Amino acid sequence: MPNATVLVVDDEPLIRWSLVNRLKEEGYRTVEAGTAGEAVAHHRDGVDLILLDFALPDANGLEVLKQVKETDPDTLVIMLTANTDVGTAVTAMKQGAFHYANKPFDLDEIMLLVDKALETTQLRREVRTLRARQAQPYGPGSIVGRSEPITTVRNLLNKIAVSPASTVLLTGESGTGKDLAAKVIHYSSSRGSKPFMNITCSALPETLLESELFGHERGAFTGADRQKRGLIESAEGGTVFLDEIGEMVPLLQSKLLRFLEEKAFKRVGGSSDIRVDVRVIAATNRSLEEEVKKGHFREDLYYRLNVMAIPLPPLRDRRDDIPLLINHYIDAFNTEFRKKIRGVSPTALTALTAYAWPGNVRELRNAVERAMLLAETIELNETHFPVLSAHHGGELSTGINLPAGGINLEGLERSLVVQALERAGWNQTKAATLLGLNRDQIRYRIEKFELEKPSH
Ligand SMILES: Nc1ncnc2c1ncn2[C@@H]1O[C@H](COP(=O)(O)OP(=O)(O)OP(=O)(O)O)[C@@H](O)[C@H]1O
Ligand SMILES: [Mg+2]
Question: In this predicted model, what pLDDT tens digit does every residue of 305-364 receive, in sequence order?
Answer: 998 999 999 999 999 999 999 999 999 999 988 889 999 999 999 999 999 999 999 999
Ligand nearest to the CA of 184: 1
Q: In angstroms, what is the span from residue 2 Cα to ligand 1's centroid? A: 32
- Say how many residues make up the chain: 456
Classify 367 as helix, strand or coil.
helix
Nearest atom (ligand 1) to Cα of 182: 18
Tell me: pLDDT of 240 over 90. yes
Distance of CA 409 to the CA centre of its chain: 36
Strands 239-243, 196-200: pairing kind: parallel
Ligand nearest to the CA of 153: 1
Confidence of residue 394 (pLDDT cuts 50, 70, 90): very low
Residue of 146, 154, 179, 186 best suited for mutating to test ligand 1, as the one with most atoms within 8 Å of CB: 179
Buried b (16+ CB within 10 A) or exposed e, 13-32: eebbebbbebbeeeebebbb
User: What DSSP assignment string belongs to 68-134?
Assistant: HHHH-TT-EEEEEE----HHHHHHHHHTT-SEEEESSPPHHHHHHHHHHHHHHHHHHHHHHHHHHHH
Confidence of residue 399 (pLDDT cuts 50, 70, 90): low
User: pTM for the whole thing?
Assistant: 0.62
Using CA atoms, how far apart are residues 431 and 446, in angstroms rounded to an integer? 11
Q: In angstroms, what is the span from residue 297 Cα to ligand 1's centroid? A: 25
Confidence of residue 130 (pLDDT cuts 50, 70, 90): low
Say if CB 125 and CB 73 are below 8 A apart.
Answer: no
pLDDT at position 425 is: 86
Q: Residue 2 has what DSSP assignment? A: T
Angle at the Cα of 268 (from 262 to 273), degrees rounded to 5? 35
Q: Which range scores top for mean pLDDT: 17-26, 102-111, 138-147, 189-198? A: 17-26
| Mean pLDDT of all residues in 164-187 | 94
Nearest atom (ligand 1) to Cα of 145: 1
| Mean pLDDT of all residues in 264-293 | 94
- Ligand 2 ion: Cβ-proximal residues, 5 Å cutoff: 178-179
pLDDT at position 204 is: 83
Pocket of ligand 1 contains residue 285 by CB under 6 Å: yes
pLDDT at position 280 is: 97
Using CA atoms, how far apart are residues 327 and 368, in angstroms rounded to an integer? 9
Region of poorest pLDDT, from 96-105, 148-157, 400-409, 427-436: 400-409
Confidence of residue 83 (pLDDT cuts 50, 70, 90): low
Query: In a 10 Å sphere around its CB, with 0-12 CB exposed, 13-18 middle and 19+ buried, how is residue 7 labelled?
Result: buried
